[in-house]
Amino acid sequence: MTFTESVKSVFSKYAKFEGRASRSEYWYFVLFNLVVSFALALLDVAIFGVDKDVFSRIYSIAILLPSLAVAVRRMHDSGKSGKNYLWVFTIIGIFYVLYLMLVKSDPLPNKYGNPEGYDENNNSFLENRKDIENMGGDLVI
């Protein structure tokens, strides 16, 4: 998934917590947020001075829901419940959540949906069972 496709995908699923988000979708969206936040911080300083951050605060509020939604969908992609994101509120849990955001996607359908690019009509993954097991994935039929 490209950078622009990722950003469009996240905004089109603004508050959708169901389904899956690929690793590239999540991390491209994080990169987009960093760039926009930095640009808005510069704009705030240029217009309002150092003490006020009007545009940055508005953007942070507007982006809160899609950021949470894509994080939950990213956890679903690795086969974990979105409730695991609550670990971010503990010191050690931050590292666990970071690990879940970095781990490879589950290559097969899981209880949260199909992986990106999966074709439901093509059952050839059953023929490639050994390849999938060698990749470290669990075969769920």
Q: What is the pLDDT along the chain (141 residues), one digit of tens a residue?
A: 899 999 999 999 999 999 999 999 999 999 999 999 999 999 999 998 888 889 999 999 999 999 999 999 999 998 899 999 999 999 999 999 999 999 998 888 888 888 877 766 665 554 454 555 566 655 554
141: in domain:
no
Residue 115 confidence (pLDDT): 82
Is 121 contained in some domain?
Answer: no
What does the buried/exposed string (b/e) look like for 101-135 if buried means 16 or more CB atoms within 10 Å of the residue's CB? beeebbbbebebeebeeeeeeeeebeeeeeeeeee
Residue 80 resides in a domain: yes
> Could you report the per-residue pLDDT of 68-81, keeping only the tens digit for each?
999 999 999 988 99
Residue 119, domain member (yes or no): no
d(CA 18, CA 49) in angstroms, rounded, equals 41
Residue 42 falls inside a structural domain = yes
Which residues, in sequence order, are bridge partners of residue 110? 113
The domain in which residue 50 lies consists of 3-104
Residue 127 lies in a domain: no
Domain count of the fold of the chain: 1
Give a yes or no: residue 132 inside a domain: no
Question: Quick one: tokens of 1?
Answer: 């998934």
Helices and strands per DSSP (H, E), number in the chain: 5, 0
Instruction: Decide: helix, strand or coil at residue 47.
Output: helix
| Residue 65: inside a domain | yes
The whole-model pTM stands at 0.79
